[in-house]
Every structure is written in C-alpha cells, then in structure tokens.
Amino acid sequence: MTRKLLLLALFSNFAVFSQLIFNDDFTNYTAGLPLSGQGTWTNNSSLNAGLGSCTGLGCVSSSVTNYTISYPNYGTASKAISISSNQDAVGTTFTGVTSGNLYLSFAVNFSAAVNDPSSSASQDFFRVMSSGNYNTTFRMGAYNSGGGFIIFIQKGSGAKVYSTVLPFNQSHLLVMKYVFNPGTNDDTISLFVNPDFSLPEPTTTIQSSDGGLGTTDYVNAIDRMNFRSNYSTIPTGYIGMVKGTKSWSSLLSISDIQQNPTFIINGANAKNGIVSIVSPRNIETATLKIYDIQGKIVDIKSTSLTAAVNEFSITPIPTSGTYIVEISENTGNKFTQKIFVN
C-alpha cells in the first residue's frame, strides 16, 4: 500500500511540474545590474523581441533591483526589475507551446504611466512572440487614466481591449491566457486582473480579444517574450515573478513548489483521515495545515517528518474537491501543494 501511495504521489507531482514552462522571480540575480546578461535574458534594440547581443545605442536594459513584490497564493519575491521609458528591450525564450492553453503571468507595481498617445500597435511594454522576433502573437500596454492606470491586451495588431482602472503604487497580478483553437485566426487572448487564487479559474475573464483584422494565428510554437522599454510610452515601476504554465492550477505557488520539488503530498486516502507525505530530509518540528479552496482551515497540527514516506492521521475530509496542504518549518520555510480528494 505504501509503495502504491508513493507511486500515485510521484505521478501527481510530475503532472504539476509538466505544466510549468517558465518561472523566474529574479531572486538569484545581482541587484543594480541590467537584467540582460543574467539568467537567459538578453537585449538588442534592433530586434523588437529584444533577443540577441546588444547592438543598440547605450544598451541599457531594465535593471534588477531589491524590491519585494508579492501576491496571495501566487508567490513573494525579494527582487524585481525596474522599468521606465527609453531603455533597451530585454527578452528570453521559453519552452514552446503549440496547442491547448498558455498562461503567462507577472506582478506589477506602477507609479506612473503616460496618456494613450494613439491607436498604434507599438505602445506596449510586454510582447509574446511565435518562433521569431517579429511574429508578435500578443502584447500588453499600460496607460494613465486619471487616478490610476488601465491595462490593454492586443492579439497581433488587432483591436485593443482594456481593463478597468487600477490604482498606482499597489501590487497587481496580471495573467494572460492564450487559447489555441483549430481554425484560422481564431485563437483567443484573455486577461485576468488580480484573480483570487483560493478559487478555481474564473469562468469569465476581464477582457478577451479574438478574430478580426490583424489577429494572425502563427502556426509555429509560442516560445519567447520581452519587456519592451525602448519607447517613450513605457510605464514606470516594477515587475516581478514571471511565470508561464499550461494550466491555471499550476500558477499557484509555483515558486514554493519549485524550491522544494522533493516534497510529495498525497491525499488519495484523505476521506479516511490519512495523508501521505514524502519528505526529502528529517524535520524535527513542522506545522501541517490543510485548507479548503475557500481558505478555511480543515486541520492543523504540529509534527515531525522523517526522510521517507510519512503517513499522518487527519480529520477525515468527507467532501470531494481541491484542498491545499501547507508544511511550515520553524526556520520559516514553507511548502504548499494542492491535493484532490475524490
């Protein structure tokens, strides 16, 4: 039975990680230096994707800075990139996606933005491309709107669609969803602004853009992105915790899961009051919490873990659904994982 539980847990954990295509919170980078040249990020002002060796004047891209940015159930990072206008673009490639859904997300905290200058397709600060630096699949921009700013999304060079007004000097989470559809020029791009990650994916999005003139479906993989700051309309502020996945659920606390990939939690027998946890090491003191999808604590207990399969008695969970298990060490380290109770 223990071996079967372990195999089931390993399969569940692999399924979560197979959905992850990109995750960078800039934590391991050097603050005060350009993002270009750190990790997989590069810049080149002669390419609108910002990919390649820099050949532009100045070659000064967005810099990594010590700035804490966070969003509930999505993550917290102690570093971000500082963006402003008239710098060089900086970009990176990621694992290509050709079907299904693609989610790209990051947190922003903007202090200023310019008024919308025109309907030009070039007034954006973020672009996603398909197998080439000029194949812009979709983009995002930000404009001043009196007491705050609005976000727009745009598929290719099609029509822009706008969010509601967001306040300056606050952290916001932006999640873009690209859906591959089987027809021609009918893929959709949607935007979630400040979604509640204690709930399943919303059934409706903030806005959606599809079809129409300029909304090309590229047949090759979507595989690169860039933060474009080489224009005068770029907002001023910070961007952090950039993630890319193929499912909504794997956006949840990816940074925590990636830092502790050998913790494996299995709730297949949770209805009978048993949870199995594979720990990578001995932990003398830990706190185990189980939450339902609304954030209500189902069970909490102090315990210890051995570097093996650990089975714990919990309050039986009679209702099927998604739950969140959190393991907290007395060092402050935390690990979270979703479990599915059938």
Q: Give yes or no: residues 139 and 159 share one domain.
A: yes
Domain range holding 314?
Answer: 2-9+256-341
Tokens 């606390």 map to which residue? 253
Instruction: Look at residue 261 in the predicted model and tell me its pLDDT.
Output: 45
Q: Which amino acid is at 118?
A: S
Sheet order of strands, 264-266 included:
264-266, 274-278, 309-313
Q: Is residue 14, in this structure, part of any structural domain at all?
A: no
Residue numbers in the chain where pLDDT is lower than 50:
1-18, 254-261
The CA dihedral of 90, 93, 94, 98, to the nearest 10 degrees, is: 120
With b for 16 or more beta-carbon neighbours within 10 A and e for fewer, the 166-199 pattern comes to: bebeebbbbbbbbeeeeeebebbbbbbbbbebee
Q: Give yes or no: residues 242 and 260 share one domain.
A: no
Q: Give yes or no: residues 222 and 278 share one domain.
A: no
C-alpha 53/C-alpha 122 separation (Å) is 22
Please report, for the domain that includes residue 60, its CATH number: 2.60.120.200
Q: Is residue 251, in this structure, part of any structural domain at all?
A: no
Instruction: Look at residue 311 in the predicted model and tell me its pLDDT.
Output: 87
Query: How far is CA 324 from each of CA 14, 73, 112, 196, 320, rounded to the nearest angstrom?
Result: 17, 10, 37, 14, 13
C-alpha 28/C-alpha 30 separation (Å) is 7
> What are the pLDDT digits (tens) for 27-51?
888 999 888 888 888 876 555 556 6
Query: How far is CA 261 from each of CA 16, 99, 256, 265, 278, rounded to the nearest angstrom?
Result: 10, 26, 9, 11, 11
Q: Which of 246, 270, 292 is the last residue of a domain?
A: 246
Instruction: Look at residue 49 in the predicted model and tell me its pLDDT.
Output: 55
Q: Give yes or no: residues 55 and 195 share one domain.
A: yes
Closest to 295 (Cα-Cα) out of 196, 228, 216 = 196
Global model pTM greater than 0.75: no
Q: Give yes or no: residues 38 and 140 share one domain.
A: yes
Q: Give yes or no: residues 208 and 289 share one domain.
A: no
Q: Give yes or no: residues 150 and 39 share one domain.
A: yes
Q: Is residue 15, in this structure, part of any structural domain at all?
A: no
Instruction: Look at residue 277 in the predicted model and tell me its pLDDT.
Output: 86
Residues 50 and 90: beta-carbon distance below 8 Å: yes
Q: Which of 246, 275, 304 is the last residue of a domain?
A: 246
Tokens 């069970």 map to which residue? 299
Q: Is residue 123, in this structure, part of any structural domain at all?
A: yes
Instruction: Look at residue 127 in the predicted model and tell me its pLDDT.
Output: 92
Q: Give yes or no: residues 32 and 64 share one domain.
A: yes
Q: Which of 246, 278, 308 is the last residue of a domain?
A: 246
Instruction: Look at residue 7 in the predicted model and tell me its pLDDT.
Output: 37
Domain count for the chain, please give it: 2
